[in-house]
Structure 1
Amino acid sequence: MSEIRNDWTREEIEEIYNSPILDLIYRAATVHRENNDAQEVQVCTLLSVKTGGCPEDCSYCPQAARYHTDVKVHKLLDVDDVLEKASNAKANGSTRFCMGAAWREVRDNRDFDKVLEMVKGVNGMGMEVCCTLGMLSEDQAKKLQEAGLYAYNHNLDTSEEHYNEIITTRNYDDRLDTLENVRKAKISVCSGGIIGLGETEKDRVGMLHTLATLPEHPESVPVNALVPVEGTPMEKQPKVPVWDMIRMIATARIIMPKAMVRLSAGRVRMSQEEQALCFMAGANSIFAGDKLLTTPNPEVNEDEELFQVLNLKPRKAFKDQEKATVA
């Protein structure tokens, strides 16, 4: 079995990332099979429970209030609406339900109370429930955990060095502090990033290095390809080559062998063959449904066909907890 290491150097990760692509895929596929069921893919659904009007200036995001995009602002959804959508997602094969709110940080108010009700409701359906709500205090993380939250997503986005080129309304340490608060509350950590933001290869390696040298690896690492949105500063960015996505996925798999590596945004622009290479390289989680917050995603029936062609099966909910109980 691959050794779980938290002492990777940037040089080691850079060497892996830049190795010949077929060797890299083969090595990652081998590590993947040593640590995971390679036929198993976690199917997640992501719902925007509060859209737009965010005060942050993330230059890729159509939900930032300062940019003029086609995103329609809507306040926090009603709890019953969200639970109905979660129920539909479960019926369509999702085992994890993620709720996103376009907030800079969580505030202790009625909206947060409603989110706690949503968490309780989705958890009661037997699904893993995940939230991405912005920055989070230790006390708020504890409340979410007590309500039944399984995972919390807070992406690093890019390397610490490139971060200020993308976002100026918060700093990198704010990101890391939230991840630490989530960890302290014993909630599963979901954290990855986006490629195609004008970063260098060294920035990509830097982001992976930060994730792989956390005290514990994130249980889930989303790898997103930028989907440029008109009206944002990133609207003219070129499409990310699929080989870059494969390099990121494969490198993440090798240095974080047991993490769920999620093929996230940008999948809608990939053929079945390109997605198959990503799964070969160690991706074992996807978002299902026709939207990722505000960007397009493949439809459910396309994914069903993909799973049949590649002989993949959805991962059961709470599998990590089952393993822990057995151990």
Structure 2
Amino acid sequence: MLRTDWTLDEVKAIYHQPVLELVAQAAAVHREHQATGEVQVCTLLSVKTGGCPEDCAYCPQAARYHTGVETHALLKDEVVLAAAQRAKDSGSTRFCMGAAWREVRDNRDFDRVLNMVTQVNDLGLEVCCTLGMINEYQAERLKQAGLYAYNHNLDTSAEHYSEIITTRTYDDRLNTLANVRQAGISVCSGGIIGLGETDQDRVAMLHTLATLPAHPESVPVNALVPVKGTPLAEQPRVSVWEMLRMIATARILMPKTIVRLSAGRQEMPVTEQALCFLAGANSIFSGEKLLTTPNPDFDADKQMFDLLGLTPRKAFKDVPQGAAVLSKVEA
């Protein structure tokens, strides 16, 4: 039975189990609720890079930090569509477009993104966007354009949030997730570990996600990739044991959710990634970059899939036959 009434103490007790017991428990939950050995392959493209007015302490795209990231305006439609086709040809079934905006504005650039969403949807890919904060009207327009999922990470706990970001509030994040849910778009929301937070912060973030009115359909678990020029440039690498605790706890709390092993995977050997899949991760980003940070390429991931006996999850697997977004793809 899916629960959205977890207590903080319950989440804490799960998270702090001996790690092998935690992974074993998560693996059992995963086997009961998911197709084991099936992993969703996603590709993330930065369609507008750099120049963001926010002060997220981890982000190389913040205009106030000197990180060497080359800024570029919104990519042309044909460039995005070609990238989406390459991703599909390489085995991805979800294509996510990220723009370094604080919030969506109702202007020509947003109209162009809506057109991109429609065109990528027509390729038969699940289309995801991460564009910053959106209101109800903008969420509706994205849904009508064919958007399948919207990513808006909580990043960390409510208590630690102001240590990482001061240009928006935690409630701003939650309001965007509510607008996405209201529009009938699949919710993708997770966080980043390695931001100087405590275990209690990690527990609190997972508790927030697991007690939303409905669980997010997708929860990315990111390990910080420190970038020179950002305030968190000197943070130590997150260990595999920390990632395992996050992934396994997320799997137990949200059994039907796709849990994505996201940023930081470039630094993880296949043995560490295999442990994460065992603990309940069933999605990855594949392709050379995650927005602006390095990521394993398609060939490396194909070798890993072959070695571990993993199979890619099909697009729109959870969409009922006849649903608008699916019928459009099949038309």
Normalising by structure 1, we get a TM-score of 0.98
List, as ranges, runs of 4+ consecutive aligned residues in structure 1 with deviation greater than 2 Å. Answer: 322-325
Equivalent position of 2:32 in the other structure: 34
CA–CA distance in 2 between the matches of 1:118 and 1:134? 17
Whether 1:72 and 2:90 are equivalent positions in the alignment is no
User: Kindly tell me: are residues 286 and 323 of structure 1, through their superposed partners in 2, closer, same or farther at Cα, counting changes over 3 Å?
Assistant: farther
Separation of aligned partners in 2, 1:324 and 1:290: 35
Residue correspondence of structure 1 range 94-109 to structure 2 within 5 A? 94-109=92-107
| Structure 1 partner of 2:90 | 92
RMSD: 0.9
Q: Does 1:310 align with 2:319?
A: no
SS at 2:319 equivalent: helix
Matched, 1:220 2:218: yes
Q: Distance in 2 between matches of 1:197 and 1:18?
A: 19
Q: Deviations over 1:196-251 (max 9, x none)?
A: 00000000000000000000000000000000000000000000011000000000
For 1:105 and 1:193, the matched residues in 2 are separated by 19
2:203 pairs, out of 202, 205, 215, with: 205
Distance in 2 between the 1:324 and 1:271 partners?
Answer: 41
- CA drift at 1:324: 9.2
Partners in 1 of 2:322 and 2:244 — Cα distance? 30
How much does 1:299 deviate?
1.4
Could you tell me which residue of structure 1 aligns to residue 289 of structure 2? 291
Give the aligned partner of residue 236 of structure 2: 238
After superposition, the C-alpha distances for 1:143-177 in whole angstroms (9 at most, x for unaligned) are: 00000000000000000000000000000000000
Relative to structure 1, is the Cα distance of residues 300 and 147 closer, same or farther in structure 2, using a 3 angstrom cutoff?
same
User: Does the C-alpha gap of structure 1 residues 323 and 26 become closer, same or farther in structure 2, counting only changes over 3 Å?
Assistant: farther
Match of residue 153 from structure 1: 151
What amino acid is the match of 1:45? T
Unmatched 5+ residue regions in structure 1? none
Match of residue 51 from structure 1: 49
TM-score, normalised via structure 2 length: 0.97
Structure 2 unmatched ranges of 5 or more: 324-331
Q: Aligned partner of 1:166: which letter?
A: I
Residues 247-279 of structure 1, C-alpha deviation per residue, up to 9 Å, x if partnerless? 000000000000000000000000100000000
Pairs within 5 Å for 1:270-289: 270-289=268-287
Q: CA deviation at 1:300?
A: 1.1
Q: Percent identity?
A: 70
Paired residues, what number?
Answer: 323
- 2:326 corresponds to: none
Alpha-carbon distance in 2 for matches of 1:321, 1:295: 31
Which amino acid is 1:31 matched to? V
Out of 173, 177, 189, the position equivalent to 2:175 is 177
Aligned to 2:116: 118
| Structure 1 position 322, deviation (Å) | 3.8
The one-letter code of the counterpart of 1:65 is A
Any idea what the Cα deviations from partners look like across 1:89-145, whole Å, max 9, x if unmatched?
A: 000000000000000000000000000000000000010000000000000000000
Q: Secondary structure at the match of 1:319?
A: coil
Which one of the candidate residues 3, 7, 14 is aligned to 1:5?
A: 3
Distance in 2 of aligned mates of 1:168 and 1:27 = 37
Q: Hey, what's the Cα distance between the residues in 2 that align with 1:14 and 1:296?
A: 33
Q: Give the distance between the partners of 1:235 and 1:316, measured in 2 at CA.
A: 37
3-state SS, counterpart of residue 281 of structure 2: coil
Between the aligned partners of 1:289 and 1:323, the Cα distance in structure 2 is: 30
Whole-angstrom CA distance in 2 between matches of 1:313 and 1:49: 28
CA distance in 2, matches of 1:41, 1:299: 16
- Residue 184 of structure 2 corresponds to which residue in structure 1? 186
Q: Name the amino acid aligned to 1:14.
A: K
Distance in 1 of aligned mates of 2:13 and 2:204: 13
